[in-house]
Amino acid sequence: MSIRIDCEIARTIENMLWWSGYWRRNEIRVVVADGWATLSGEVEWGYQKRLAVHVLRGLAGMTGMTDDIVVAHARSTVSGASEAENPHADVVTSSRWS
């Protein structure tokens, strides 16, 4: 995939995240290489992390995604572990689709 296409995918992702209204600009960083998007950064709540993955699922031209977003706000879960400490709190850490 070309660098131009990767840049267009990254720009589209950034715009989708920004316009959805759940994240501040530059709160989530986006890098795209060969159609594979990597999201990183820190959000305050777990729902923001899960929603970022959900919003971008199936985006045209994207071959998959790695979710490296960190949840800053530790919220207690049923098991007593904080959401930030719970390794199962992520909906997706890495997925490939076509």
Residue 15: is its pLDDT beyond 70?
yes
Q: Which residues pair with 48 in a beta bridge?
A: none
Residue 82 DSSP label: B
Q: Would you say 39 and 46 are in contact if contact means Cβ atoms under 8 Å apart?
A: no
pTM greater than 0.75 (yes/no):
no
Q: Quick check: 58 and 46 in contact, CB under 8 A?
A: no
Of the pLDDT bands very low, low, confident and very high (cuts 50, 70, 90), residue 88 is very low
- Helix or strand (DSSP H, E) at 69: strand 64-71
Question: 41: which strand partners?
Answer: 28, 69
Amino acid 2: pLDDT: 65
**19-23, 31-35, 70-74, 91-95: lowest mean pLDDT where?**
91-95
Domains and CATH numbers, the chain: 3-96 (3.30.1340.30)
